[in-house]
Amino acid sequence: MGLQEYFAQLGQGIDLVAECSGLSAPDLEKMGASTHDAAELISLHTIYFGTTPYTGKQRLAVDAARRNGHCLSTLRLIESFTRRVKEQRAAWNLRLELCATPGEQVSAVAKRRVRELRVPHKYRERALLRQHPNGLATLTVTGNALDMADAFRTIDQQRPGASFVARMLGKTGAAPAARTRVTTMAVLQLEDYGKILRRKGDDVLVRTTSGAVVTGAQLVERACANEGLITVISRTLGPVDLYRFERFASLKQRTMLAAEHPTCAWPGCNTPAERGQFHHLTPWKHGGETNVSNLVTLCSYHNGVNEDDPNAPPRRGRLTRKRGTIVWQPPHTSR
Ligand SMILES: [Zn+2]
């Protein structure tokens, strides 16, 4: 057989499979196929031409594979992916999509789909104990990611069991592990940081240097509790926020505000935040709180012209926060 003939056959994988109708693996072997090839052809024949509850998808898949000229190795590749999908309908949907995909893209599309179909494991708080035959046991505890990371760091890796038990049960005799103060650093996108500032941190996932992944809201809660800078009031899982606490923004708040507005927030002004002032959107004397959502960076000039008093005659307009974003509100408009 010449190369030309071979290449012509190559693009007709599904037709070669169709020709196996009424044949068994031993029949194919008698025709010269290897045991492996024979088994594979019969298996492909069962899939594409055998009985299935999904005859409609099966027919479409055969047509698509023929149209794309999928060779036998592509059909084999498709099966290597559909095999990983347990649910039959989902497997057929994937097979059909891959048959309809040009050969050179099959692998990439399949990898993406299989990843999407993977059901994420649902972790929940729990404790497990596994006894081992040599007198040891393994305790597995699943809980709040930051707490678990902190707890893990208190374990002495030289003697993990003993140090853990000493801490948990307060057993004497074992030297207490020195409480190491480690600062967890959160690494997050600037865009996500803004979301957290705007109290929309619930859907922001933050990776911390302790390895724990937490939501933005958890991070804020944690930072507040740890720093002791501000008072956190959670009204039955309500928003964690800073309530009237101090007149002037803390260093922490200044840093956060500068991150939100690196320059004066007044439209068109480029005075750097470092030379700016921190302005209460709702004035302190009108009950405005010193929290990041009520503060904004302004240069001294714009802090002066911003109309603080909602009852004063409007001249230059004022800044306000709408749906989390600082906007300039022109004069003669109501709040
Ligand atoms: Zn300014």
Residue 210: predicted pLDDT: 60
Query: Tens digits of per-residue pLDDT, 113-157?
Result: 888 887 777 888 888 888 888 888 888 899 887 778 778 878 888
Question: What crossing angle do the helices spanning 55-67 and 88-99 adopt, rounded to 10°?
Answer: 20
Residue 108: predicted pLDDT: 93
Question: 95: domain range?
Answer: 3-117
Please check the confidence at residue 278 and state whether its pLDDT lies above 90: no
Return the biggest CA–CA distance within the chain.
100
**Residues flanking ion ligand 1, Cβ below 5 Å:** 264, 266, 269, 271, 299, 302
Q: Are residues 15 and 108 in the same domain?
A: yes
Residue-by-residue DSSP string for 47-73: HHHS--S-HHHHHHHHHHHHHTT--HH
Q: Are residues 100 and 171 in the same domain?
A: no
- Please state which of the ranges 45-54, 216-225, 299-308 shows the lowest mean pLDDT: 216-225
H/E run at residue 93? helix 88-99
**Cα-to-centroid distance, 318 and ligand 1 (Å):** 12
Q: Are residues 107 and 10 in the same domain?
A: yes
Residue 101: predicted pLDDT: 94
Q: Are residues 125 and 174 in the same domain?
A: yes
Across the range 17-23, mean pLDDT stands at 91
* Measured distance CA(113)–CA(220) in Å, rounded: 35
What are the beta bridge partners of residue 215? 205
Choose from 25-29, 238-242, 281-285 the range with maximum mean pLDDT: 25-29
* Measured distance CA(103)–CA(109) in Å, rounded: 10
Q: Are residues 176 and 191 in the same domain?
A: no
Q: Which amino acid is at 328?
A: W
The answer to whether the CB of 158 falls within 8 A of the CB of 166 is no
Asked if residue 85 belongs to a domain, the reply is: yes
Question: Dihedrals φ, ψ of 98, to 5°?
Answer: -70, -35
**Cα-to-centroid distance, 241 and ligand 1 (Å):** 28
Q: Which of 91, 96, 67 minimizes the C-alpha distance to 81?
A: 91
- CATH number, domain of 319, equals 1.10.30
Q: Are residues 259 and 214 in the same domain?
A: no
* Measured distance CA(326)–CA(189) in Å, rounded: 19
**Cα-to-centroid distance, 275 and ligand 1 (Å):** 10
Q: Which of 18, 29, 25 minimizes the C-alpha distance to 63?
A: 18
Residue 249: predicted pLDDT: 63
Q: Which of 253, 334, 335, 332 minimizes the C-alpha distance to 297?
A: 253
Asked if residue 335 belongs to a domain, the reply is: no
Please check the confidence at residue 62 and state whether its pLDDT lies above 90: yes
Q: Are residues 265 and 319 in the same domain?
A: yes
Choose from 1-15, 114-128, 190-204 the range with maximum mean pLDDT: 114-128
| Chosen domain end from 117, 146, 163 | 117
**Cα-to-centroid distance, 97 and ligand 1 (Å):** 57
Within 8 A by CB and 6+ apart from 203, the residues are: 195, 215, 216
Query: Tens digits of per-residue pLDDT, 243-257?
Result: 333 445 667 777 777
Q: Are residues 14 and 110 in the same domain?
A: yes
- Six-digit token string for 82: 């559909």
Mean pLDDT for the chain? 77
Q: Are residues 238 and 263 in the same domain?
A: no
pTM of the model: 0.41
Asked if residue 30 belongs to a domain, the reply is: yes
Better-predicted residue by pLDDT, 77 or 234:
77
Residue 1: predicted pLDDT: 59
pLDDT band with cut points at 50, 70 and 90 for residue 220: low
Asked if residue 334 belongs to a domain, the reply is: no
Asked if residue 269 belongs to a domain, the reply is: yes
Question: Domains in the chain: how many in total?
Answer: 4
Q: Are residues 96 and 108 in the same domain?
A: yes
Query: Tens digits of per-residue pLDDT, 91-108?
Result: 999 999 999 999 999 999
* Measured distance CA(318)–CA(281) in Å, rounded: 9
CA distances 123 to 86, 120, 127, 202, 216, Å, are 21, 9, 12, 18, 19
Residue 198: predicted pLDDT: 66
CA 116-120-123 angle, to 5 degrees, is 170
Query: Tens digits of per-residue pLDDT, 282-308?
Result: 887 777 777 778 888 888 888 888 776
Q: Are residues 125 and 27 in the same domain?
A: no
**Cα-to-centroid distance, 270 and ligand 1 (Å):** 7
Q: Are residues 76 and 55 in the same domain?
A: yes
